[in-house]
Chain A
Amino acid sequence: MELFLQQIINGLTVGAVYALIALGYTMVYGILELINFAHGEIYMLGAYLGIIVLGFLTVIGLTAMSLPLAIFITIILAGAICAAYGMTMEKVAYKPLRDAPKLAPLISAMGVSIFLQNYVMLTQGATDKVFPNIIPKASVNFLGADVTYIQIFIMASSVILMAGLHFFIMKTKMGKAMRATALDKKMAGLLGINVNSIISMTFMIGSFLAAVAGVMVAMYYGLVNFSIGYLAGMKAFTAAVLGGIGNVPGAMLGGVLLGVLESLGAGYLWPEYKDAFAFIVLVLILIIRPQGLLGARVPDKV
């Protein structure tokens, strides 16, 4: 029972991270119908920025003054820089291709992905980077399972961010404009919505969330490598598809479900096939229910 609970908690932690990254995929797909393959790299950039920014804050003495404040600033700064990267990526690699054949932006995304990986490898080195060991390792006991502070932190901040995003999309004017753009770009443009800035905004929000996920993962595992973006990106994408791509609550649900499934599968069945679970889930869900758990079936346009 304790083991089961422990696996569930580990799964929820990883799932929260998947969900945060998945939101970026699903929002971009909802608006542009583009699988942004470079999104995983933004998450990787975020993880690196977590280490870089926290290192900088330590040098100027802020970390010694107040650790929570330093972590807060790290997350905000890393998120902001990644948002800038995401926006730039859209302007350079996707915007010129909006009317191009469908495969072109996909190839372009692959190019961005390869570029960013090598950019980080060249500037930060090919070896693993270590996250400074400053976060207390203590944990609380929950019905016999250990829950570390970092795990609580990850789950809590994910919930806050997702709630914030949901509020933003459903209640604000900008969110309404985003929903309108997702429904029909042309019509939204005719009604006075600046579609280009909405698309930039979408990329920025998605990149911000991915960066936060990256910083938190860097804290959680303590190690970062330039190649982590691909697998995390694929799993997050699976989560987005699982929940119904283009559907924001679906991405959250999909992420958490996938994290728990993976954790239970690796814990009880075959640990060596841990990474295959995500893909098996992906294939099964697409074949059985391609619209995802929460997605609505879209009829083919003739």
Chain B
Amino acid sequence: MMASKYIKTILIALWFGLLAIPFAGFTKAVMIAGAVLAGVVVVNILKSLRNNSTGIRSAGKVDDFINNVMRGRNRYAVIAVTLALLVVFPFVTNRYALDLATQAGIYIVLALGLNIVVGQTGLLVFGYVAFYAVGAYTYAILSTAHGFNFWVVLPIAAFFAGIFGIMLGAPALRLRGDYLAIVTLGFGEITRIVLNNWDSLTGGPNGISGVARPSIGPLVFSSLNHFYYLVLILVIITIIVVSRLNDSRVGRAWIAIREDEVAAEAMGVNTFLFKMLSFGLGAVVAGLAGVFYVAKMGFVSPESFNFFESVIILCMVVLGGMGSIPGVVFGSLALYLMPEALRDFQQFRMLIFGGSLVAVMVFRPQGFIGTRRTGIELSHKEAENL
């Protein structure tokens, strides 16, 4: 039994080495085989450790820990400490970390927006970045060509992105599952190609530069510190709005649609309306994130809105745990910061990134922090109120 396991491990390593020969050459293929061997051995050891420990699984421990922290009495304490840390963060760190944190904040907002659509309503969307682009370009164009102020553009961009979302949603939402995903992917790509070619409006591949910084009266938000706080406020507002929505009637309707669309419709949920609402709200959030992104960069080009960007945001949602807000926040931070943390490996970082996406999905398909909503029954008090 054990011997055959060792032979199997060696065969797996040999197989990968063999596969690698045409591309990597003989010496590198041997190294790859060695790496695979080490990897399989580590996985096997982890597996046997997991089986030996008396039924307690590390995954369960994570869930329990999160639940204790987020749902118990210490919840407010945790939130207060986190907030305090976030507020003092710019004073104790360097520019590089601050820049990363600001960008990560924008990704958190995007991922939370997509989470409304994918995680809560269960609609698979691949072209999410199109809404982000609409918001970003709205601000860039209105600011450079018409001199609009950041704060005036904010609602306009949200409105445009929302309208855009509803326009795409109306025909697309009749489709289900994978088909919806592909249609939104198509819309996303068309948006990018149009941005790339409509030179007179969008500046084509060169993009638009010299976008004005936001300002309130004489105070101009120009330094990294300012943007950090601006984005922090956006993140906090988004988290509050999203979690309030989650617990509202609308949120429940979304979850009903996610769990079983036909049953939801039979129970009187206007599925089309709620799906549109979810789609539109997701688009609005992305549009707002886009405005903040452009305001921070002062520059926008179609390259920032490629399919890969949509994929990354989707991965943030799924990896963290669909439908769970702490999960999504964690997923965004992990995915955005991981390539940065792997900087020392330079060219290998995207390789490791792709490999870890597969690994995480294989070993924990529900995401790091899966939602606990599924299967929760109404408490007596809630049942009486209905």
Segment of B100-108, B220-228, B355-363 in the binding face: B355-363
Interface assignment of A92: CB less than 8 Å from any CB of chain B: yes
Contact of A97 among B19, B350, B361 (CB under 8 A): B361
| Nearest CB in chain B: distance from A288 CB, A | 9
Contact of A100 among B179, B186, B314, B361 (CB under 8 A): B361
Segment of A145-153, A201-209, A250-258, A269-277 in the binding face: A269-277
Q: Is the CB of A287 within 8 A of B182?
A: no
Q: In whole angstroms, how far apart are the Cα atoms of A88 and B348 in the complex?
A: 21
Known contacts A52-B22, A272-B197, A279-B190, A286 near B353 by CB under 8 Å: no
User: What residues of chain B lie closer than 8 Å to A105, measured between beta carbons?
Assistant: 361
Q: In whole angstroms, how far apart are the Cα atoms of A280 and B186 in the complex?
A: 7
Q: Is the CB of A302 within 8 A of B190?
A: no
Interface assignment of A265: CB less than 8 Å from any CB of chain B: no
User: What residues of chain A lie closer than 8 Å to B353, measured between beta carbons?
Assistant: 114
Q: In whole angstroms, how far apart are the Cα atoms of A103 and B178 in the complex?
A: 10
Q: In whole angstroms, how far apart are the Cα atoms of A107 and B318 in the complex?
A: 8
Query: What 0/1 readout, one digit per residue, does chain B (158-179) give for beta carbons within 8 Å of chain A?
Result: 0000000000000110111111
Interface assignment of A213: CB less than 8 Å from any CB of chain B: no
Q: Considering the complex, which residues of chain A in the window 84-102 have a beta carbon less than 8 Å from any beta carbon of chain B?
A: 84-85, 88, 92-93, 96-97, 100-102
Q: Name the CB-closest residue of A to B357.
A: A111
Interface assignment of B78: CB less than 8 Å from any CB of chain A: no
Q: In whole angstroms, how far apart are the Cα atoms of A283 and B170 in the complex?
A: 13
Known contacts A100-B365, A119-B23, A123-B23, A111 near B355 by CB under 8 Å: yes
Query: What 0/1 readout, one digit per residue, does chain A (75-90) give for beta carbons within 8 Å of chain B?
Result: 0000001001100100
Q: In whole angstroms, how far apart are the Cα atoms of A45 and B186 in the complex?
A: 25
Q: Is the CB of B361 within 8 A of A112?
A: no
Q: Name the CB-closest residue of A to B178.
A: A35
| Nearest CB in chain B: distance from A290 CB, A | 5
Known contacts A114-B353, A272-B197, A283-B186, A107 near B361 by CB under 8 Å: yes
User: What residues of chain A lie closer than 8 Å to B124, measured between beta carbons?
Assistant: 102-103, 106
User: What residues of chain B lie closer than 8 Å to A275, measured between beta carbons?
Assistant: 189, 193
| Nearest CB in chain A: distance from B383 CB, A | 26
State which size class the interface on B falls in.
35 or more
Q: Considering the complex, which residues of chain B in the window 339-362 have a beta carbon less than 8 Å from any beta carbon of chain A?
A: 347-348, 350-351, 353-359, 361-362
Q: Is the CB of B351 within 8 A of A93?
A: no
Q: Is the CB of A52 within 8 A of B193?
A: no
User: What residues of chain B lie closer than 8 Å to A100, measured between beta carbons?
Assistant: 361, 365-366
Most buried by B among A81, A110, A273: A110
Q: In whole angstroms, how far apart are the Cα atoms of A85 and B22 in the complex?
A: 12
User: What residues of chain A lie closer than 8 Å to B319, measured between beta carbons?
Assistant: 107
Q: In whole angstroms, how far apart are the Cα atoms of A53 and B23 in the complex?
A: 10
Interface assignment of B244: CB less than 8 Å from any CB of chain A: no
Known contacts A102-B177, A118-B351, A283-B183, A230 near B307 by CB under 8 Å: yes
Q: In whole angstroms, how far apart are the Cα atoms of A121 and B322 in the complex?
A: 32
User: What residues of chain A lie closer than 8 Å to B193, measured between beta carbons?
Assistant: 273, 275-276, 279
Q: Name the CB-closest residue of B to A89.
A: B358
Q: In whole angstroms, how far apart are the Cα atoms of A35 and B124 in the complex?
A: 13
Can you give 19 contacting A-B residue pairs, CB < 8 Å?
A35-B182, A93-B361, A101-B365, A103-B118, A103-B124, A107-B318, A110-B354, A111-B355, A111-B357, A114-B350, A114-B351, A115-B355, A117-B354, A118-B351, A120-B23, A279-B185, A279-B193, A286-B172, A290-B179
Interface positions of B (Cβ within 8 A of A):
15-16, 19-20, 22-25, 28, 118, 124, 171-172, 174-179, 181-183, 185-187, 189-190, 193-194, 197, 262, 307, 311, 314-315, 318-319, 322, 347-348, 350-351, 353-359, 361-362, 365-366
| A-B residue pairs, 8 tightest by C-beta | A111-B357, A114-B354, A115-B354, A100-B365, A111-B358, A104-B365, A279-B186, A118-B351
Q: Taking A122-B347, A300-B262 as given, write out 6 further A-B residue pairs in contact, using a Cβ cutoff of 8 Å, ordered by the A residue number.
A: A101-B322, A104-B318, A106-B181, A122-B348, A238-B186, A241-B182
